[in-house]
A and B are shown apart, each in its own frame.
Chain A
Amino acid sequence: MVTTATNKLYLYFKYLGYTLLAISALCFLTTITGGNTINPVVWGMSGIGLLILGGLIAIVCSRLPKHVAHQNNGLWQKDLTSRGISAWALGILLTGFYILLYWFPETLQGLIVALEPFSQWLRNKPSDQWFLYGTFYTLAVMLMGVYALLKYRNNRYHLIRTCSVIFFQLGFAFILPGLLLAFNQPEFYFSYFWPLKYDYLFPSTVGYLIDNGQALGVFMVFWGAVLSFLATPVLTYFYGKRWYCSWVCGCGGLAETAGDPYRHLSDKSKKAWQWEVAIIYPILGFVIITTLLLWINSWSGGSLFGDLSGGFSRSYGFFIGSIFSGVVGVGFYPIMGNRVWCRFGCPMAAYLGILQKHFSRFRITTNGGQCISCGNCSTYCEMGIDVRWYAQQGEPIIRSSCVGCGICAHVCPRGVLKLENGPREGRYHGTTLIEREAVTILS
């Protein structure tokens, strides 16, 4: 444990980190508003440099001196993590960034120009708003990945899992698509599949990939189809939904790192669960039906629906892709928790959830009669599952929405929960050491 003098030193450095972050914010502001009077590359890259340096200093100095058991201290008492004024301010800032990015990208021109040399170096292409977004997204996952690594440093499951989401975001969702562009190949994300990346199996995308990517394009189509229809069911059978949602997926990666300080804000009420079921499955159904219709349309030579494909892509992309997954999904982190999109909107989560619930070996076992009903598990479940409900009755937790992040098991003060894979036979059977009652909370 650290002494008071060292603690003071950590505190001073933490403030230094905050100061650098503030200067970094000023740099970004200058880059955006400076117009032709400044050099956006110098200001923008200085901003990024200071963001990394200041962020790392602040994260290390706030996490490291804190005992592993004290990492959640004050979360419900601090303004920024308990829906206080600063939380709302951050929410508005993030939401505002998404609105500018989606609908007014010209306002971010300074930042886009700032990344021009980097974009040319990595992708051999001019920078655009999506490259700006990808860069900041990846930076957020990496910086806050350090935060998660330090916060959960006594738990190997989380160390490995956090490294995994950083790896997939940086390698599969940022560098690899950039390199593909550099080599004049179609931009392709090997870590996203249909139905999340709903258009990867649309006839138009398939046609484009095969025409423009030749052999590689055929491989991309093959890869996407195999991952969606073969690998997903097989991996989910063995490991549950977690192999994707909290190990590979970029949305999950951001939620597990940048969103981690907000996981306790997820709504645990019965109402929220009913909304979840009412929204997420229709979205999955919508994607499936549309994909089928598009193929029928394509085989019939477009005689059936005409330009439905384009119309659909535009409206679905706008409502689900932009508004739901971006503005609400990430912008509302500080208010509604870090998995709003994954919980209420993601068609992939719905697909994986059905597999996890009905065709998987995965479950969270509760340890005999050990639960003390404290509620840490439910509070820190980012998917809003009332884990305690099952634990205090000695039942295994088998829920389609569980993304297998494993935080419930980590925060449990009595070590009652264990994520594990076992035979499907007797999967729902609980312990004999607690009497339980049959109550369905969904009804």
Chain B
Amino acid sequence: MQPDQHVVVIGNGIAGITLAQRLRARSDCRITIVSSESALHISRPALMYVYMGHMRQQDITPYPDWYWKEKKIELVHDLVLSIDFDQKALKLQNGAFLAYDQLVLATGSSAVYYNWPGQHLKGVQALISLQDLELMQQQTIGIKQAVIVGGGLIGIEMAEMLQSKGVEVTMLVREKLYWSTNLPEQEAKLVTQHILNCGIDLCLQDEVTEIVGDEKGNVRAVKTKSGVELPCQFTGIATGVKPNIAFLKNTALEIDKGIMVNHFFETSIPDVFAIGDCAQFKDPAPGEPALEQLWYTGRQHGEALSAILTGTRNAYHRGPWFNSAKFLNIEYQTYGFVPRHWDDLIYSSLYWEHPVKTKAIRLFYERESGILKGINLLGIRFRHDLCHHWLQEKYTIHQVMEQLPAVNFDTEFFQRYEPELLKQYYQQYPDRQEPARQHTWWKLRHRLSLFSEKSDNN
């Protein structure tokens, strides 16, 4: 890309800033990032730690001010009101216009509300942005009870935040178990039980019908389908997110749920691209989601588009899925794809769960071919590089079991539980032999070349 080109990125979330950083590594072009949320990029998943007092707002800023100056990436802290695609310019709230040669939309997403009566009452809010955090800090001062609507990852974060301030929390979850839209029953049960043990109340298989206010317009209670009225002074909305595209409606840009893109992140308008939460793939591969709304996929979109913009026109290919979360103190990692339920004739899984502690491992694979499809981990850490390699290279469960002792990433002195899983495996496949020689992680890493070629850290 030519140095005189001006790339403007709307949004300073992980997708937008990754794009800008990687673009800078490849090109001398002019780069500007516009954000109305914050002057500097913040780590969105870390908002909860600011609320709980583990960190201050400046601590969740991964790159300091000088970094952006050194990298010659211009930052504009302003709201984009509209885009003139013909003139190739943005209209900002302060009245200025910003011209671009290439525009990257990385506007992220916002909370979904389902038009419940009373959803605009004071004390009812979601938690996505920095502004949401500030609002939540104000709205939860001195309150006693709170209700969280929705049983997802943001829901449990809000519950933990509120609990840290001594607030009694009830979560309203539509399903039979917490996050059972994503987790198989055994994992969902384990996490559900853990949440209850931690003193957070779960209202399962129930939904909100109305949010009730008092005479001052503050939330007073949440009414549910089963007829319960849960008193509360705060209601957290955690029923999912939708792309931030309201300001793009009625423009020439093709949108659906999100901004429609192909696998080169090209939108319907030339020189306009979309990445991250706000992008929607026109033709996702079978079994793949059209919207990828994760921190990690945002970063991968940014990396992929930076290559595309600088002339390496390779279609985006995500590679094996991975994600992580934390349910109070249970860390969760997932690699590849483990569905919530499956056909036992086609798929099988090895599952081990600690009888007392909140730990579990599941290896999910195709029955006939034995090919590993996914891994679920609760309270145990595996090495991402090795799991990625297994999934990428379509290892069978038998090959995986040979390397299993090398995959653990838990802290030193922690008890290892892989032997439990191996025991189960050898019971199930008695004709399989333990390999004569166990490779350590370092040997495997070397043998399989699971490291970057050049080392940049010196």
Contacts and interface: CB of A to CB of B under 8 A. Distances in A.
Nearest to A269: B64
Contacts of A390: 457
Interface in A323-374: 365, 367-370, 372-374
A73 interface: yes
B22 A157 contact: no
Nearest to A423: B442
Contacts of B46: 372-376
A370 B413 contact: no
B418 interface: no
Given A72-B54, A160-B413, A433-B388, A374 B450 contact: no
A354 to B, nearest CB: 15
B43 interface: yes
Nearest to B412: A157
Contacts of A439: 67, 70-71
Nearest to B443: A423
A226 to B, nearest CB: 27
B352 interface: no
Contact of A430 (B21, B441, B452): B452
Contacts of B457: 390, 395-396, 398, 428, 430
A69 B388 contact: no
A75 interface: yes
Given A74-B52, A77-B53, A376-B49, A414 B331 contact: yes
Contact-size category for A: 35 or more
Interface string B63-103: 01011001100000000000000000000000000000000
B329 interface: yes
Interface stretch (A103-111, A229-237, A293-301, A405-413): A405-413
B455 interface: yes
A211 B413 CA distance: 45
B324 interface: yes
B199 A372 contact: no
A69 B387 CA distance: 27
Nearest to A418: B409
Contacts, number: 190
Given A372-B46, A422-B442, A73 B385 contact: no
Contacts of B383: 367-368
A438 B454 CA distance: 10
B54 A73 contact: yes
Nearest to B324: A414
A375 B409 contact: no
A429 B441 CA distance: 14
Interface in A219-235: none
Given A376-B54, A379-B54, A428-B455, A434 B324 contact: no
Contact of A429 (B64, B299, B326, B451): B451
Contact of A372 (B21, B45, B61): B45
Given A369-B322, A374-B49, A431 B452 contact: yes
Contacts of B160: 69
A67 interface: yes
B59 A379 contact: yes
B337 interface: no
Contact of B413 (A157, A372, A373): A157
A156 B411 contact: yes
Contacts of A215: none
B333 A415 contact: yes
Contacts of A414: 324, 326, 331, 333
A434 B456 CA distance: 13
A93 interface: no
B313 interface: no
Nearest to A422: B442
Contacts of A70: 52, 163-164
Contacts of B62: 373, 375, 388-389, 392
Contact-size category for B: 35 or more
A75 B54 contact: yes
Contacts of A418: 381, 409-412
Interface string B9-32: 000001000000110110000000
A154 interface: yes
A378 interface: yes
Nearest to A397: B457
A438 B414 CA distance: 34
B60 interface: yes
A394 B300 CA distance: 13
Interface in A47-99: 67-70, 72-78
B22 A378 contact: no
B432 interface: no
A373 B411 contact: no
A214 interface: no
Contacts of B329: 67-69, 154
Nearest to B66: A270
B315 to A, nearest CB: 17
A420 interface: yes
Contacts of B199: 1-3
Contact of A419 (B59, B411, B442, B450): B411
B331 A374 contact: no
Interface in B339-389: 381, 383-385, 387-388
Given A376-B46, A393-B456, 17 more contacts: A2-B199, A72-B53, A73-B52, A76-B59, A77-B53, A156-B413, A270-B64, A374-B60, A375-B46, A376-B54, A411-B54, A414-B324, A418-B381, A430-B452, A436-B456, A437-B21, A438-B456
